[in-house]
Each structure stands twice: as C-alpha cells, then as structure tokens.
C-alpha cells in the first residue's frame, strides 16, 4: 500500500519533470518510478505504524501550517533586512544560546519544529539531542519569543493529534 502510493507520487513528479506525453517517454517514466520505488522506497515514511489514511489526513492538514510558515519567513526576512540596514554599530544585536525542551515525540515532528525555528525571525536551531533543542538567538526580543510554544502546539495538532 505504501509502495503503491510512493510509486504514484514519484510518477506525478516525473510528469512535472518530463513535459513529454508520448508513449515512449511515459513508459520510461513508469519504469523509472518503479525502479526508484524498488531500490529506495524505505526512505519515504520511515515510521509505518500509522495507516496510509492517517498519513493522508496529516498531509491534508499541512498546507495551512505551511502558509503560516511562509508568513513567518517573510517576517524573518524583514527582520534581517531591518537589522542589516540599521545605522550605527547594530544596537539590537545581542546574541545568546538558549536551551529549550520540547514535548514532541515523533522524529518527524521534531524535524518540523527544528526547521520552523530556523525559519522564524531571529533564531536558528544548532543542535537537537533527545528532546532538548540548542538555539542561537540574535537579539533579546527574539530570545523572549523562543519560550512561546504556540508553534509546537500547531505541529502537535498536525502530526500527533492522537496523543494530545
């Protein structure tokens, strides 16, 4: 079941790549997608305890979060622009390292959280050990923002709904 859905996904990507729909190239696409599925399908969806249906539900819930993330990326770029173009000797820059605990269980949720922290204004995830994140923050205002756990709850609502 997982293999079939991976095959369909890869074939969809092939169609975007290819742009030619004659029989010869479509056959090549089918062969290629099947070949990649054969040799490396275990790389997608490492944790297969949940069914395909649950996975699809998770994917459906994802876009809203991604849109919110896009807005955050815009904010972080404006933040960088403002800092970079501020005159004088960069009054606002006050770097510090912070350790934060997270309640997320799954690896994928942690990955999502770490990348989201990297993309939101003023913070970068340096390291992740167990459930502890080491974060570098660029100014005092953003250090305060790290303690806020709204992002974590958003991710938990997507990937770990049954736990909460």
Partner 1 sequence: MIVDTICIVLVSLGLLFFVGGAVGVIRFPDFYTRMHAAGKGDTMSVFLVLVGLAVYQLGDFSLGNALVAGKILFITVFIMWASPTSTHALIRAGLEEGQKVWTRDDKKEESEK
Partner 2 sequence: MSAVSDFPDWGDPNSPANSYRLSQHYVTETIHETSVPNMVTAVLADYRGYDTMFETVVIFTAGIAIIGILRRFGNDDKDAAKPTLYTKKPDLIIDTTCRLMIPIIQLFALYVIAHGHHSPGGGFQGGVIFGASFILLAVSRDLQAAQKWVPEKRILNLAGIGVLIYAGFGLGSLLLGQNFLDYAILHKIMPATPIEARSHSMLGVEIGVAFTVTAIMFSIYSNLASNGSMKEGL
Distance CA 118, CA 42 (A): 27
Binding characters for partner 1, 128-157, by CB under 8 A (x = yes): --------x-x-------------------
Contact with partner 1 (CB under 8 A) among 60, 81, 144, 157:
81
Contact with partner 2 (CB under 8 A) among 36, 50, 100, 134:
36
The angle that helices 2-18 and 23-40 make with each other, rounded to 10 degrees, is: 140
The backbone torsions φ and ψ at residue 72, rounded to the nearest 5 degrees and listed phi first, read -65, -40
Kindly state the smallest distance separating residue 51's Cβ from partner 1, in Å.
25
Tell whether residue 67 is a contact of partner 1 (CB under 8 A).
no
Sequence length of the chain is 164
Tell whether residue 155 is a contact of partner 2 (CB under 8 A).
no
For residue 134, what is the DSSP state? E
Distance CA 35, CA 60 (A): 28
Query: 128 forms bridges with which residues in the sheet?
Result: 133
**Residues at the interface with partner 1 (CB under 8 A):** 13, 15-17, 19, 70, 73-74, 76-77, 80-81, 83-85, 89-90, 93-97, 114-115, 118-119, 121-122, 124-127, 136, 138
């Amino acid at each position: 079941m997982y293999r079939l859905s991976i095959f369909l996904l890869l074939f969809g990507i092939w169609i975007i790549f290819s742009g030619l729909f004659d029989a010869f190239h479509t056959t090549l696409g089918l062969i290629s997608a099947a070949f990649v599925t054969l040799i490396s399908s275990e790389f997608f969806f490492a944790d297969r305890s949940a069914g395909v249906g649950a996975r699809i539900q998770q994917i459906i819930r994802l876009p809203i979060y991604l849109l919110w993330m896009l807005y955050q990326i815009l904010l972080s770029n404006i933040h960088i622009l403002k800092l970079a173009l501020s005159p004088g000797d960069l009054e606002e820059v006050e770097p510090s390292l912070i350790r934060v605990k997270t309640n997320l269980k799954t690896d994928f949720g942690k990955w999502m959280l770490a990348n989201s922290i990297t993309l939101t204004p003023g913070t970068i995830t340096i390291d992740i050990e167990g459930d502890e994140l080491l974060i570098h923050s660029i100014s005092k205002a953003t250090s305060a923002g790290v303690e806020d756990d709204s992002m974590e709850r958003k991710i938990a609502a997507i990937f770990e709904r049954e736990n909460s």
